Amino acid sequence: MLRVVDVHFSYGYGRQTKKILEGVSLRIECGKLVGLLGPNGSGKTTLLKIISKALKPNGGVVFLDGKRVSEFSVRELARELAVVPQETPANFEFTALEVVLMGRNPHLRRFEFEKEEDLKIAEGCMQLTDCWHLADRPITTLSGGERQRVFIARALAQQPKYLLLDEPTANLDLRYQLEIMEIIKRLAVEKKLVVIIASHELNLVAGYCDELVLLNDGKIIAAGAAKEVLTRGNIKRAFGVDVIVETHPLTGAVYLLPINGH
């Protein structure tokens, strides 16, 4: 279980202080896929960084299975939690398999090389994310959707209980967006992971996530099922946009239609 309790975070000092998060609390159980929504500057990425210990909050606590994140060493945390950032550099000629094997580093001793077991785990993760056929391809030659599947496989190779993804479908075409979301949803269910996705794709995540959390000005203004969060009033408050809220006739998922001119 992941618990975020009354987290506060600000940048700067004195008069230059800017509040990014204010009193944020969450509780997410294993097997749940949660979408973190909100406009630019609402605090989504900052919250992911605090959960992953990349940033230290000014107040509040994050717990993983009842243990404070601050009490984990870097190595211990990497065995529990994996992050797929919004942008992952891919400037070196590593093969896709070599990239995925990097996820095994938290489980290796210093200067230890990967063993047959590590190779099997890497292959299994690439099979799960449908990229094993890319194993020998240089990462620089892959398309955006192919790279994203490889980076998710690398995160899974850490064998985490918690998976955080920042804009995993950004800059992908519709086909790859749907493929990535299908993979993420399957991982949450089959692997019983706690998965959090920060995204701007409201309609996309609404169709896959078990719960949504809507942030605005560093505060949670709505949390729960899509139909409870994606209301006309909440969208107007968070994004300043008028929308029509509809239900998909085939899937039953909530989706939004912006009203032109507003």
Mind listing the pLDDT tens digit for each residue in 114-123? Answer: 788 999 999 9
Q: What confidence category does residue 86 fall into, taking pLDDT thresholds of 50, 70 and 90?
A: confident
Q: What residues contact 217, with CB distance under 8 A and at least 6 apart?
A: 22, 42
Count CB-CB contacts under 10 A for residue 26: 19
Average pLDDT of the chain, as a whole number: 92
The residue assigned the tokens 């060493």 is 73
Inform me whether the pLDDT recorded for 13 exceeds 80: no
- Whether residue 224 is predicted with pLDDT greater than 80 in this model: the reply is yes
Tokens 């994004």 correspond to 239
Per-residue pLDDT tens over the stretch 244-253: 999 988 888 8
- Output the pLDDT for position 261: 56
pLDDT of residue 14: 67
Instruction: Inform me whether the pLDDT recorded for 262 exceeds 70.
Output: no
Least confident of 13-17, 51-55, 162-166, 178-182: 13-17
Q: What are phi and psi of 132, to 5 degrees?
A: -65, -30
Q: For the chain, list the domains and their CATH numbers.
A: 2-258 (3.40.50.300)
| Alpha helix ranges (H) inside 34-173 | 44-51, 74-80, 96-101, 116-128, 144-157
| Interatomic CA distance for residues 212 and 181, integer angstroms | 15
Give the residue, 167 or 87, on which the prediction is more confident: 167
pLDDT at 117: 92
Question: For residues 19 and 219, what is the distance between their CA atoms, to the nearest angstrom?
Answer: 10
Q: What is the predicted pLDDT for the residue at 250?
A: 85
